Chains A and B, each alone.
Chain A
Amino acid sequence: MSAGILVDALLTGAVAAATPLLVAGLGELAAERAGVLNIGIEGLMLAGCFAAFAVTAATGNPWLGLGAAVLAAMALGGVFAVVSLTCRADQIVAGMAVNLLAVGGTGAAWRILQDRGLTDLPAGSGFTRGWTGIPALGELPVVGPLLFDQYGMTAFALVLAGVLALVRRRTRLGLVLHGVGQDPHALAASGVRVLGVRWGAVLFAAACAGLAGAYLSTMRTHAFVPLMTGGTGFVVLALVMFGRWSVGGLVVGCLLFGLAESAQQGLQSLPGARVVPHQLFQALPYLVALIALALAGRSAPGPAALGRPWPER
């Protein structure tokens, strides 16, 4: 077995694992830039994951599933926004409530789905790998596994990252988002509707989280299992912070985390690996995230108004 293939596999795995993190992370990045910290992102992903699966299973059309994921996550994101923005409850706490709602809601809805026998996607209805439809592209060195031997969401994530970077640097929208998270008073004085912008950012983040969830169920696995997001949303939060609230930093963080995941898979089947409890391998990505955050330290503070309600009183 040539090392090249193994490296390719490592990279493919890394990118596949990084994709949902990046999609959800870009949304959360926008929300945090606007000053909203949503730790319910895990719940929103779960909702999207389920909705995409359910609708695809029922209709056989994964595009409808994607749409459903976005809508479901935005609906739940709307609950978060009402509670934390309009009613000005603490954002962290509102996020916890969203997680509870998502876990309960998808659990109950999954039972209904099963009673109808919709536990598998109809044959061939999920999205397929190699989104270009040209298998040859996947054979290309480096870019093949990184970009083409993946699902469409990976390409979408990269485009979205590019668009977001552009928005941040070159549009007034980017400035408004930045300002709303940095100094909402200043923006409000200029007539910007701070709450409106935050609502928009939260809904955008929710839509992204929904797509990330849809990726897990209708692209990456073609399956749904309760709680299948398994903490990915929390990792997303860590990565946004690790990336210092910049698109580039987030992309790097997602790839690093994806590599840790992918390497963990490879490491497990090494001959000597059995000496170590396998739980340690599974904890590895989380430990890596913690250590990376700890090493990154507090050099750059986040948006000044992150987590604060508006208006303050």
Chain B
Amino acid sequence: TAGSINDGGWSQLAKEGLDKLKAGGVKTTVIQKVGADAAATELRDLAADGWSLIIAHGYEFLNPATEVAKTLKGTRIAVSGADVERPGIVTIDFDVSQASYQLGVIAGRLTKSGKLGFIGGGAFPSVKACYRGFLAGAKSVRADATVAEAYTSWDQVTQNKAQAEAFIAQGIDQIYPDVDAAAKGIYEAVAERNTAKPDALVWTYGCVGDANANPAAGKWTLASAVIRLDNAFAHVAKSASDGTWKPGVVRENLASGTCVAVLNPTLVGGVLTPAIQAEVEAAGKQLVAGTITIP
């Protein structure tokens, strides 16, 4: 992993995903906080240690992995979070935009002001896809909804909190963060606001990890667009062991059951009325069927 396995975000999820495989009897190890500069070395080291499958968790490992894969025998490399086809390796592409669309449906239904906000840790395409999905979902149920977007940082909690506060001040009452571990700041802002003004609640969501039970604002987190990494890892692990391994892009999305919207169970039946639930489910079916596409 690129980050620390306890970063409360992307890298930690990978560790948890891996732990689930481990529970299923697979032998695993983790090496964390590897920068692109040392990635090739680490990949070779792991291969030399005899691991049969290396999951390089992060797009920044794509190039080193491609390079290392040229010389490897018996070890397979999967790069999770990358979306490009490269010879010799499997890349796992996560498309969260469809799940984001489902969250957008909820947001569109529950917003009072019609103003929604999206905060991304960086302004690159996979993040923007979540924004577009969220926007499209919201518009599908409330045509006049607007989604303000802002890009902050994946690790600066303070900055993200300040950004969320700025959104709230603008009258935004639904905030969808895609900022990894730094979402703590956004949840903090939401919690603070809702404690102060319980009569005009601001709602929030989770992205990538399941934030429905986050300690700060779990009460006000409606749903999360989750990447089931254990699911994805199990897919590649299976193909690596049963001989179906084929270099190329594995597309993980709503249909594959890996990138899904998970409603907050404590709010289901309350704020998340059966009607909304039904709508979210319907949208999901249409997305899988391809009758709805994200622009």
Contact = CB atoms under 8 A, between A and B. Distances in A.
B203 to A, nearest CB: 18
B216 interface: yes
A253 B150 CA distance: 26
B153 A266 contact: no
B149 interface: yes
Interface size class of A (residues with CB under 8 A): 35 or more
Interface string A192-236: 000000000000000000000000100011111111101000000
A230 B123 contact: no
Contact of B6 (A111, A227, A274): A111
B153 A227 contact: no
Contact of A222 (B8, B153, B169, B188): B188
B228 interface: no
A9 B188 contact: no
A186 B171 CA distance: 60
Given A8-B169, A268-B150, A269-B167, A228 B155 contact: yes
A5 B168 CA distance: 10
Q: Is the interface of A mostly helix, strand, loop or mixed?
A: helix
A228 B156 contact: yes
Contact of A221 (B149, B157, B163, B168): B157
* From A16, A227, A268, residue with most partner B Cβ within 10 Å: A268
Contacts of B167: 269
Contacts of A268: 150-151, 163
A107 B7 CA distance: 11
Contacts of B122: 278
A225 B157 contact: yes
A123 B216 CA distance: 7
A269 B162 CA distance: 13
Given A269-B150, A274-B149, A17 B182 contact: no
A27 interface: no
Interface string B209-221: 0000001100000
B165 interface: yes
Nearest to A121: B215
Interface string B46-64: 0000000000000000000
Contacts of B185: 221, 223
B216 A222 contact: yes
B149 A119 contact: no
A226 B166 contact: no
B7 A225 contact: yes
Given A111-B4, A266-B166, 16 more contacts: A8-B169, A10-B169, A13-B162, A111-B6, A114-B6, A119-B6, A129-B196, A130-B196, A221-B158, A221-B188, A225-B155, A225-B181, A230-B153, A265-B163, A274-B149, A278-B123
